[in-house]
């Protein structure tokens, strides 16, 4: 009897994650559908002025027409270019400089005040400087994105490097693991969760700054198309909201892709193993 019960439990267990996955995403889709239905209902009832806030159906229709045009995909391409290059430059510099600062207590104490100061400067405040230096170009967007990404991420890297367990460091040195091997095999894996958290935030921040730079600074991309549609008058508002929806969908897509990549790269870490166990 006990064997039958255990066998039954073994048969039931594999189905549990599937049911959990279906319920989780089913609820998300239900909430999204309810939000869209509410949007349409408020527009149909006249509670939302149509000349300022188009209906859901009008916006989706405009989005469908945009999806068949080269203008939309060119704007997405330009936005992704500024996002990716700026994130790579800012993130790469943050990992290198944060690691160097975190490895030395003196270096950390020397630079942390400067880092904390620059972290508080709004990116919009340096937009005029970027426009003077580079104009409404891709270089301007890259510089702003890199600036916005660098400061919060470098702090995460510093904290991650300095969080290494002294016992692990001493053990590595007793075993003769020093220099670059110590950094790659001991310090970097220990700091990886901090770096992953900083990168997860940076993915969203980089896209926001990129679109704001296009919207205000005039660089090409989704932000510029939103501004063009706004300046075209109320008749183009469905197109404007369609571009806003595309920006939101792009953010969700990038965040989802990064989450998948993080799970694949960090599958060995305890936090991800525990999360997988809870999900199951």
Q: What is the CATH number of the domain that holds 175?
A: 1.10.3720.10
Q: Is the pLDDT higher at 2 or at 119?
A: 119
Predicted local distance difference test score (pLDDT) of residue 29: 81
pLDDT band for position 12 (50/70/90)? very low
pLDDT band for position 14 (50/70/90)? very low
Number of domains in the chain: 1
Whole-angstrom Cα distance, residue 177 to residue 61? 61
Please, what is the average pLDDT of the chain? 82
Please check whether residue 155 lies inside any domain of the structure.
Answer: yes
Q: Is the pLDDT higher at 40 or at 7?
A: 40
Tell me the pLDDT tens digit for each residue of 84-95: 999 999 999 999
pLDDT band for position 30 (50/70/90)? confident
Please check whether residue 48 lies inside any domain of the structure.
Answer: no
pLDDT band for position 15 (50/70/90)? very low
Please check whether residue 47 lies inside any domain of the structure.
Answer: no
Predicted local distance difference test score (pLDDT) of residue 19: 59
> Average pLDDT, stretch 118-137?
90
- Nearest alpha carbon to residue 207 among 246, 239, 240, 247: 247
Query: By mean pLDDT, which of 103-107, 145-149, 170-174, 240-244 is the weakest?
Result: 170-174
The pair of three-digit structure tokens given for residue 91, joined into one six-digit string: 């993130």
pLDDT band for position 273 (50/70/90)? low
Please check whether residue 24 lies inside any domain of the structure.
Answer: no
For residue 47, report the phi and psi dihedrals to the nearest 5 degrees. -75, -20
Please check whether residue 217 lies inside any domain of the structure.
Answer: yes
Please check whether residue 183 lies inside any domain of the structure.
Answer: yes
Predicted local distance difference test score (pLDDT) of residue 208: 94
Please check whether residue 40 lies inside any domain of the structure.
Answer: no
Q: Is the pLDDT higher at 154 or at 105?
A: 154
Does 224 score more than 50 pLDDT? yes
Please check whether residue 144 lies inside any domain of the structure.
Answer: yes
CA count, 13 A, side-chain hemisphere, 146 = 18
Rounded to whole angstroms, what are the CA distances from 159 to 95, 112, 193, 246?
11, 11, 11, 35
Whole-angstrom Cα distance, residue 144 to residue 46? 41
Whole-angstrom Cα distance, residue 118 to residue 173? 36
3-state secondary structure of 163: coil
Q: Which residues contact 165 (CB under 8 A, 6 or more apart)?
A: 190
pLDDT over 90, % of the chain: 36
Q: Which residues contact 50 (CB under 8 A, 6 or more apart)?
A: 43, 58
Print the domain residue range for 104: 56-279
> Average pLDDT, stretch 149-166?
86
Predicted local distance difference test score (pLDDT) of residue 3: 42
């Amino acid at each position: 009897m006990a064997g039958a019960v255990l066998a039954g439990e073994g048969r039931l267990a594999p189905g549990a994650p599937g049911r959990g996955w279906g319920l989780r995403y089913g609820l998300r889709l239900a909430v999204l559908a309810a939000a869209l239905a509410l949007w349409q209902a408020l527009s149909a009832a006249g509670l939302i002025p149509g000349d300022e806030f188009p209906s859901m159906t009008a916006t989706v229709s405009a989005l469908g027409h945009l999806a068949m045009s080269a203008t939309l995909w060119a704007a997405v391409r330009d936005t992704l270019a500024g996002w990716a290059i700026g994130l790579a430059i800012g993130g790469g510099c943050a990992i290198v400089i944060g690691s160097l600062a975190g490895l030395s207590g003196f270096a950390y104490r020397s630079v942390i005040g400067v880092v904390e100061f620059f972290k508080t400067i709004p990116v919009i405040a340096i937009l005029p400087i970027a426009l003077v230096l580079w104009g409404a170009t891709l270089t301007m967007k890259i510089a702003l994105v890199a600036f916005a990404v660098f400061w919060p991420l470098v702090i995460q890297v510093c904290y991650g490097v300095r969080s290494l367990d002294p016992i692990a460091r001493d053990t590595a040195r007793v075993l003769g693991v020093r220099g670059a091997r110590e950094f790659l095999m001991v310090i970097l894996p220990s700091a990886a969760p901090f770096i992953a958290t900083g990168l997860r935030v940076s993915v969203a921040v980089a896209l926001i700054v990129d679109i704001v730079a296009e919207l205000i600074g005039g660089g090409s991309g989704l932000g510029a198309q939103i501004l063009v549609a706004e300046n075209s008058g109320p008749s183009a508002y469905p197109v404007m909201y369609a571009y806003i929806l595309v920006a939101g969908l792009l953010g969700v897509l990038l965040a989802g892709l990064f989450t998948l990549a993080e799970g694949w790269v960090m599958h060995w870490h305890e936090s991800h193993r525990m999360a997988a166990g809870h999900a199951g």
